[in-house]
Structure 1
Amino acid sequence: MRFATWNVNSLKVRLPQVIQWLADTGVEVLCLQELKMDQDVFPLAEIEAAGYRAAWFGQKTYNGVAILVKAPLEMSEVVAGIPGYDDEQRRVIAATVNGIRVICGYFVNGEAVDSPKYPYKLEWLSRLEGYVAAELARYPDLLLLGDYNIAPEDRDVYDPEGWRGQVLCSEPERDAFRRLIALGLSDSFRLFNQEEKQYSWWDYRQMMFRRNKGVRIDHILVSDALKARAQVCEIDKAPRKWERPSDHTPVILHLND
């Protein structure tokens, strides 16, 4: 099975690309972030016509997440949001697919380390950590996929010195990432690929993609119980080259049966 994550930066704008990518790749599970659409306008008919089922937690403007599962696979135990956390921003959805607990998250950006949004990011990360710990206790086979808005190490940024201490790379954020790992998870991309200059997001401005000046902030963490089944994790740059692309590109994890 293949599990993928993709921040589409508006599903309304990028729906044709999502449909095309699903047709091209046939991935079994796709987690989407930044739907930027309300719950009642999710394009379920188009998704189903493409051969996929969907669970979503929509929100206009900036947020919204979804899990797409290729039929005839089924989703069960769908949970929207972080239980017990009264968060008005819709950033998390989880479901069980073929015995694997899939958590899709659109992590808070934080804007800047001196922004009022930064403490919210750290609080949100703490709440997520508690939620993931509880989920791991119930579901040893677990994947945490999404746009983390965290570059875990200097090699995940095109200019480590320029990004030093900035949002996405600040030590409290990286420490939160390490705490997730300490729960019993692994960064699936780094299980296989140790090369530098591997990124999943590039700013639209200044030809950053063409110059490969990006950051790796889209991740798939795999639980210890699943790690032996991981075969490869790859960044698919092809959609970033399409017309009107998202500024993110998909990350795909292959698990054997």
Structure 2
Amino acid sequence: MRIATYNVNGVNGRLPVLLRWLNLAEPDIVCLQELKAPQDKFPEKPIRDLGYDVVWHGQSRWNGVALLSRIGEIHETRRGLPGDPEDVQSRYLEAAIGGVLVAGLYLPNGNPRPGPKFDFKLRWFERLHQHMAGLVALDAPVIVAGDYNVMPTDLDVYVPDRWRDDALFAPEVKQAYFRILDQGWTDALRHMHPDETIYTFWKYLRFAFERNAGLRIDHLLLNPVAARRLIAAEVDRRPRGWEKTSDHAPVWVELSD
């Protein structure tokens, strides 16, 4: 089973890229982020035409997450992160798919720091911490995947000193990420590539992708049941080199049967 996460940076504007990648890579389950489309404007038909079941949580112009499956029906279990009834942003979607509980998330960016957006990011991280504490010990494989908007270590960012003041690299944010790992989650990509410089995002400016001046901000976290089945984790850099593409690349894990 191959499960991927992909921040598409606008699902309608990047639809040809997304469909091309789905045809090429044939992932079994996909978590999409940053749809930037209201609920009624999601391109359901072309995705279903490729053989995928799909559920989505849209929002006009911003945010938005979706789950795709070509291995069976999606049984949605949660829409939105619990803990703040006033939070109406479309950033979390969770479902049971093919015997795996899959959650797709788009964590707040948090810039500028300091400020209300950064405070919201830390509160969102705390709510995520509390929710994932109830998922980690489930007697079933669980994967929480998406754009976490955090570079956990210096190895995850090109020229770390340039990012010290950024909300994605703030000490409080990195600490929040490792607090979640301490519950028993496995960072799949780093687990399989412990010492490699490996990125998932490259800015559009100054030939960042060509120079491999990137960030690792897209993560797939596995609970112990899923981690025991982990056999591969990679970044699919191919779509990042295509025209009119997202500034992120898909990241995927493979689980044994």
> TM-score by structure 2 length?
0.96
Aligned-partner residue type, residue 99 of structure 2: G
Question: What is the CA-CA distance between 1:68 and the residue it aligns to?
Answer: 0.5
Deviation per CA, 1:163-194, whole angstroms, max 9, x where unpaired? 12422111110011101111210100112113
User: What SS is found at the alignment partner of 1:68?
Assistant: strand
Same amino acid, percent of matched pairs = 39
Aligned to 2:211: 211
1:249 is paired with a residue whose SS is coil
* Structure 1 runs, 4 residues or longer, greater than 6 Å off: none
CA distance in 2, matches of 1:194, 1:175: 19
- Name the count of aligned residue pairs: 256
List gaps (5 residues or longer) in structure 1: none
Alignment of 1:154-233 (within 5 A): 154-233=154-233
**8 Å contact from structure 2 (residues 99, 140) kept in 1:** no
**What is the rounded CA distance, in whole Å, between the counterparts of 1:184 and 1:137 in structure 2?**
8
Q: Deviations over 1:86-115 (max 9, x none)?
A: 212110000011121101000000013223
Structure 1 distance, partners of 2:82, 2:194, is: 35
Partner of 1:85: 84
Unmatched tracts of structure 2, length 5 or more: none
Letter aligned with residue 173 of structure 1:
V
Q: Distance in 1 between matches of 2:144 and 2:229?
A: 15
CA distance in 2, matches of 1:103, 1:65: 10
- Matched residue of 1:124: which SS? helix
Structure 1 counterpart SS, 2:209: coil
Q: Matches of 1:242 and 1:210 in 2, distance apart?
A: 12
Within a 5 Å distance, the mapping from 1:1-257 to structure 2 comes to: 1-71=1-71, 73-86=72-85, 87-138=87-138, 140-257=140-257
1:235 and 1:112 map into 2 onto residues whose CA distance is 28
- The amino acid across from 1:198 in the alignment is I
Does structure 2 conserve the Cα–Cα contact (< 8 Å) formed by 1:55 and 1:78? no
How much has 1:58 moved relative to structure 2? Answer: 0.3
CA RMSD, 1 decimal? 1.3
Q: Offset of 1:44 from its aligned partner? A: 1.1
- Cα distance change, pair 138–195 in 1 and its aligned pair in 2 (3 A): closer
**Cα deviation digits, residues 136-178 of structure 1 (max 9, x gap):** 3445421010000000000000111221242211111001110
Deviation larger for 91-100 or 191-200: 191-200
Distance 2:84 2:51 in 1: 34
**1:136 and 1:151 mapped to 2: Cα distance?**
22
1:219–1:62 distance in 2 versus 1, CA, 3 Å: same
Contact 1:144/1:221 (8 A) holds in 2: yes
